[in-house]
Structure 1
Amino acid sequence: MKKSLILLCLLSVQHILGQENYPRDAFRSPLDIPLILAGTFGELRSNHFHSGIDIKTQQRQGLPVYAIADGTVSRIKVSHWGYGKALYIAHPNGYTSVYAHLQKFSPEIEAFVKETQYRNRSYEIEVFPEYGQLRVSKDSLVAYSGNTGGSSGPHLHFEIRSSLTERPTNPLLYGLDVRDATNPTLEALYAYPLSRDAVVNQSEDRVQLSLTRQDDGSYLASEVAAIGTIGFGVAAYDRQDLAANQNGLYELEQKVNGRVTAAFDFDSFSFGETRLINTLIDYEYLSKYRRRIQRCYKLNGNDLSIYKQLENDGKLSVLQGMNYTVEITLKDLAGNTSRVVIPVVGRREIPQEKKEVQKTDHYISAGKPNNFDLGKARVFFPANTFYEDFYIDLQSSNDTITVHNNSVPAHKNFTLTFDTQGYDEEFLKTAFIARLDERLRPDYMKTYKRGNTFSTRTRSLGTYTLARDTVPPTIRPKNFKSKQWLTNYRYLSLLISDDLSGIASYEATLNGEWILMEYEPKNNTITYNFDDKILDKKQCDLKVVVTDNVGNSTTFTSSFFRS
């Protein structure tokens, strides 16, 4: 009996994850407008793959969002950044739909959320309603589209995940209608010498190949003269009809002499592997030139599950006197393709461009923990913080430390610790660890203070220092004045900001009672909706307290009238 149950579970998982079994008629669209995409599934983002599709909402907020099928609300999360206001609905067929960056929820769900926020005395919440507590039916209104969280403009972020594994899958596999008759675009093509003896076009380093458009729409690359183990990379994007957005590729296939040596697609991936995007792209090139090159071969440390086929990790071993035809095809889900042919000839040439390896006093063994004492500071890298071994540049000067540069990606958090012994106590009360940006402006890092040490955990290489914030936050009313009658006002709004360490917390009371303020950090606004509470006094006394990340605090008080 137990074996039968296990087999049934395995078959269910296979049904959910198998591409050929994605149900194409089970779900409706989450919006009642033509679907035009601002972002596609698997798109290359900063340190992660995009886990859904971004649907344009006609440059406005407040469009009705509908349940794509019968189900029950399984999770609600409201946060200042990330997904902002997000709703998760579990469906009986084993999938969960996700709707993010929402303006607000449907009345029943909104009431549940507000009750939770007031009970917790917090705008940011994460709650998991009991199964069946908030049931929805297909076509029912569940929310309104918005621009909350880390959104850079009004849109609906939409996902479909496996309820069992929480693994996101490409929503376009489920039959959602998006007009697309546009081929992917190949912007640039690169060749990489990979082995110690490898040379490509007289270079030991990455080289860009010239491209010629053919009559059939394909590309022909210039001849590659090479020896040793080499690989290729593409800078490319895809577009759907009716939108100019440069979205991500769906599929890439590489053939050598007609044989598939590498193929991957973005049907699905796990959140646990999403940061491995930094092994798929040329991270060093991105840090210098802000262009993402997707490698057609696997690096060490690349454990991505997106690969359908790999031979010799997608690398090509070029022998003297041999000829090879490499063909790379870019595809989208609608079947549109772009193709480039690369002639490769095995010819040993004297390299004119040498690959320089910058050697320093410190070396990272990626598979082991690495601990470095820099005098007034220490840096600890856990095992597998990095994908490869390399010489790391570590410099220390007074209260400033340089941890290499941003050309190397970190997979895990490392710990940076400053020795604060000898610093003035008054300085330390409002001091914090800051990362200096390109203009040497300090960005606050979450700082842990223990005894005579300050420490922080981060994945970002760069320059760090001890900074001080002595200026408290500012608060000023946005849509009202003191002693004003606000009878016909729907909401109350204030501007809050901090010049250095940033806002840590805020709290507001009205006539001594806690009220919910919705914080929108993108425009530094906190807003109270008068519908939340029935005021029993004509004169209302407002008190707002805002605290920054080092403890500086500002209190704002005002009175207004409302009948």
Structure 2
Amino acid sequence: MIQYLRITVLTLIFSNLIQAQYPQNYFQSPLDIPLILSGTYGELRSNHFHAGIDIKTQGVEGLNVRAAASGEVVRIAVSPYGYGNALYVRHPNGYTTVYAHLQSFDADIQKWVEEKQYAQKSFYVNLFPPAGTFPVMQGDVIAKSGNSGGSGGPHLHFEIRDSRTEEPINPLLFGYEIDDHRTPEVRGVYAYPLNAESHLNQRHARTELSLRTIRNGEYAFRWTQRGAGQIGFAIDVIDRLDGAWNSNGPFKIEQFVNGSKTNEFRAERFAFAETRYLNAHIDYDLYDCCSKKINRMWILPSNALRMYSGTEQNGILTVEADSSYDLQWKISDVAGNVTLLNGSIRYEALADSSSTSSDLQIPHNSVFNIDWGSFYANLGIDVLYESADVDTTIRSGLDFCYGSIYQIGRTGIPVHKHYRVGLSLADVPVKYHSKAVVVSLDDNLNSPDSWDGDVQIHNSQPFIEARVRTMGNFTLMVDSVPPAVRVLSGIRSGQQLSTGSVIKLKMTDDLSGIQSYDCYIDGQWHLMSYDAKYDLLEVELSNRIPNGEHEFKVIVTDDRNNKTEVRIPFSYSIR
């Protein structure tokens, strides 16, 4: 208990030293309500680390969003995906604050954005106002909170970035006071023998270790482990803050072997160019099979993430003959709450060194090409995070696809960069060549995911080539079906409408995906918003439309140029 208190005090001191690097109390809260978080910085998300904090908005939209400090708006983005409606405010102290998933902007900003949308004839815009266009003072209302883009419910996503590098920094290091008296919770620990000569308890595979709870904030292996060779560990841990039950991420995980630190992961700052290294940080295979994200505490060869420090032997434990090792992981949040996980491992010789072999090894650090005649793949350097032994096969096609199915490994092998695959069009009727798409299938040959592709000539034969970012099974499908568009509400043939009337439509596509969506009134482009998570299109009629009889038209096109048009006559009056 004395050791635990000592560690807690030291952690608080270290946390205060980190925060001292950043201005304290310079930024005010962006909301007028108490700060209760549903998401913390550095959380393990899909293909990325969370770049800010998510602030609860009491389950509603439309709360005032205020400038955290004086500065000027330097970027405005509107997107059906990701951050949705977002504002970027640069401050004179070298930092930029970001406000995302907004419902709407301040009236002056909203008007300026709409003018740009009409000029570009696009709902999606990424705008950079000229210097001095939108100065703001600390506390000014700059937007309303919302649920736009990839948001899963009403909240405000808030970031603080280094203006010079655009790197997001943990906002909780800037003096925001969030009630947090809860220690991180360890939900599991996994061990990984890393080569054929290594084992843990005579197993060569990933092994979940049994834990016991000593007290709140302290866990231990249920018994001493036995092994040999190179072993890595991964920790399944969450952190909860006061006032919410959301499963957040910790601030820091330190790994010690016999009292010496061998690795540290710290959620302080990262570059957006690094964020996909999340797939090297987690056990991606475990995520692929079981939707579980855990923190890998050793570093894969092509993992260039800079959130690690104090690393020895890439965080790998080498269990040598006649040796034993005391292991400890110290897990902290920004508030200084600490959880300890202790364990031990002793050397035991490997009884059986037999191992399974795979068809092929794909290196991570050199170019690798496959050419099977009717299929090829070209993988560049660092497409993979580590060299991978993969199974390969060519299977007969299924009812829904054209030609064979080509397997390169499993979907559980993480891919960092895109690489190119090409499939012969020999089994696709010529009239459908322009409609063919490359699709990947899961390990059970289900759930086709389209990667589109372009027709190429390869070895004097027509192929379709696509840039893909997955391993697994590849085949061809044909998309000749236009998108489905359905009016939900707001208009029917001949209906009388007026200023502010809202028309809602739902659009979906069964394979290649939506490429474009446009609304026209009497042939003139009209702004239409798109919420991708709900497949929802919305048109709010404005006084740009004169009184009288009009035609409402929506055109939706998928990636294979299949089009759907909806035309409805209506009457309109300005009010």
TM-score computed with the length of structure 2 as normaliser: 0.90
SS of corresponding position for 2:20 = helix
For the 8 Å contact 2:196–2:355, the answer to whether it is kept is no
For the 8 Å contact 2:18–2:173, the answer to whether it is kept is no
Deviations 1:109-137 (A, max 9, x none): 11111010000011111111122111111
1:328 equivalenced with 2:333 (yes/no): no
- After superposing the two structures, state which structure 1 stretch, 536-545 or 369-378, moved more: 536-545
- Gap change, CA 1:561 and 1:169, over 3 Å in 2: same
Correspondence list, 1:137-148, <5 A: 137-148=137-148
What's the CA shift for 1:256?
A: 2.2
SS of corresponding position for 2:495 = coil
SS of corresponding position for 1:486 = strand
For the 8 Å contact 2:363–2:388, the answer to whether it is kept is yes
User: Match for 1:540: what amino acid?
Assistant: H
Q: Where does residue 11 of structure 1 map in the other structure?
A: none
Cα-Cα RMSD: 2.1
Q: Partners in 2 of 1:261 and 1:475 — Cα distance? A: 56
- Gap change, CA 1:306 and 1:559, over 3 Å in 2: same
Q: Where does residue 385 of structure 2 map in the other structure?
A: 387
Q: 2:494 aligns with which of 471, 483, 500?
A: 483
Correspondence list, 1:259-408, <5 A: 259-348=260-349, 350=351, 356-360=355-359, 362-397=360-395, 398-408=403-413
Q: Where does residue 520 of structure 2 map in the other structure?
A: 509
User: Match for 2:377: what amino acid?
Assistant: V
SS of corresponding position for 1:350 = coil
SS of corresponding position for 1:477 = strand
For the 8 Å contact 1:494–1:527, the answer to whether it is kept is yes
1:448 equivalenced with 2:484 (yes/no): no
User: Match for 1:315: what amino acid?
Assistant: I
Q: Partners in 2 of 1:495 and 1:194 — Cα distance? A: 49
The number of residue pairs the alignment matches comes to: 543
What's the CA shift for 1:439?
A: 6.4
SS of corresponding position for 1:384 = coil
What's the CA shift for 1:197?
A: 3.0
1:250 equivalenced with 2:256 (yes/no): no
Q: Partners in 2 of 1:287 and 1:422 — Cα distance? A: 31
What's the CA shift for 1:218?
A: 1.4
What's the CA shift for 1:379?
A: 0.8
What's the CA shift for 1:323?
A: 3.1
Q: Where does residue 25 of structure 2 map in the other structure?
A: 25
- Gap change, CA 1:433 and 1:294, over 3 Å in 2: same
Q: Partners in 1 of 2:507 and 2:217 — Cα distance? A: 54
1:162 equivalenced with 2:162 (yes/no): yes
Q: Partners in 1 of 2:320 and 2:435 — Cα distance? A: 63
Q: Where does residue 119 of structure 1 map in the other structure?
A: 119
What's the CA shift for 1:229?
A: 3.0
- Gap change, CA 1:534 and 1:339, over 3 Å in 2: same
What's the CA shift for 1:370?
A: 0.9
What's the CA shift for 1:332?
A: 0.5
Q: Partners in 2 of 1:430 and 1:311 — Cα distance? A: 52
For the 8 Å contact 1:404–1:461, the answer to whether it is kept is yes
What's the CA shift for 1:33?
A: 1.4
Q: Partners in 2 of 1:55 and 1:45 — Cα distance? A: 16
Q: Where does residue 10 of structure 1 map in the other structure?
A: none
For the 8 Å contact 1:264–1:309, the answer to whether it is kept is no
User: Match for 1:494: what amino acid?
Assistant: L
- Gap change, CA 1:60 and 1:364, over 3 Å in 2: same
User: Match for 2:560: what amino acid?
Assistant: V
For the 8 Å contact 1:204–1:355, the answer to whether it is kept is no
Q: Partners in 2 of 1:489 and 1:125 — Cα distance? A: 23
What's the CA shift for 1:290?
A: 2.4
User: Match for 1:385: what amino acid?
Assistant: V
Deviations 1:316-337 (A, max 9, x none): 3333333322111111111111
Q: Partners in 2 of 1:439 and 1:55 — Cα distance? A: 40
Q: Where does residue 239 of structure 1 map in the other structure?
A: 240
Correspondence list, 1:7-26, <5 A: 20-26=20-26
Q: Partners in 2 of 1:224 and 1:293 — Cα distance? A: 20
SS of corresponding position for 2:270 = coil
Q: Partners in 2 of 1:474 and 1:100 — Cα distance? A: 30
SS of corresponding position for 2:384 = coil
SS of corresponding position for 1:273 = helix
Q: Where does residue 483 of structure 2 map in the other structure?
A: 473
Q: Where does residue 533 of structure 2 map in the other structure?
A: 522
1:68 equivalenced with 2:68 (yes/no): yes
Deviations 1:411-460 (A, max 9, x none): 11010112225642222232222223456243322322335221111211
What's the CA shift for 1:95?
A: 0.6
- Gap change, CA 1:198 and 1:471, over 3 Å in 2: closer
Q: Partners in 2 of 1:138 and 1:182 — Cα distance? A: 32
TM-score computed with the length of structure 1 as normaliser: 0.91
For the 8 Å contact 2:232–2:317, the answer to whether it is kept is yes
For the 8 Å contact 2:500–2:540, the answer to whether it is kept is no
SS of corresponding position for 1:115 = helix
Q: Where does residue 472 of structure 2 map in the other structure?
A: 462
Deviations 1:159-206 (A, max 9, x none): 111010111100111112221111101001122333543332222333
Among all aligned residue pairs of Structure 1 and Structure 2, give the percentage whose two residues are the same amino acid. Answer: 38
What's the CA shift for 1:227?
A: 2.6
Q: Partners in 1 of 2:123 and 2:278 — Cα distance? A: 32
Q: Partners in 2 of 1:488 and 1:459 — Cα distance? A: 46
- Gap change, CA 1:512 and 1:238, over 3 Å in 2: same
Q: Where does residue 9 of structure 2 map in the other structure?
A: none
Q: Partners in 2 of 1:291 and 1:160 — Cα distance? A: 28
1:409 equivalenced with 2:414 (yes/no): yes
SS of corresponding position for 2:123 = coil
Deviations 1:342-391 (A, max 9, x none): 1222333535xx7844410x331221111111221211101221122223
Q: Where does residue 36 of structure 1 map in the other structure?
A: 36
For the 8 Å contact 2:217–2:338, the answer to whether it is kept is no
SS of corresponding position for 1:485 = strand
Q: Where does residue 400 of structure 2 map in the other structure?
A: none
For the 8 Å contact 2:36–2:55, the answer to whether it is kept is yes
Deviations 1:398-419 (A, max 9, x none): 3432232112111110101122
For the 8 Å contact 2:546–2:572, the answer to whether it is kept is no
- Gap change, CA 1:407 and 1:485, over 3 Å in 2: same
What's the CA shift for 1:19?
A: 5.1
- Gap change, CA 1:217 and 1:50, over 3 Å in 2: closer
What's the CA shift for 1:26?
A: 0.6
In structure 1, list runs of 5 or more residues that go unmatched: 1-16
Q: Partners in 2 of 1:379 and 1:57 — Cα distance? A: 47
Q: Partners in 2 of 1:209 and 1:441 — Cα distance? A: 33
What's the CA shift for 1:501?
A: 2.6
SS of corresponding position for 2:273 = helix
SS of corresponding position for 2:278 = helix
- Gap change, CA 1:553 and 1:37, over 3 Å in 2: same
Q: 1:538 aligns with which of 525, 548, 553?
A: 548
In structure 2, list runs of 5 or more residues that go unmatched: 1-16, 396-402
Q: Partners in 2 of 1:22 and 1:502 — Cα distance? A: 44
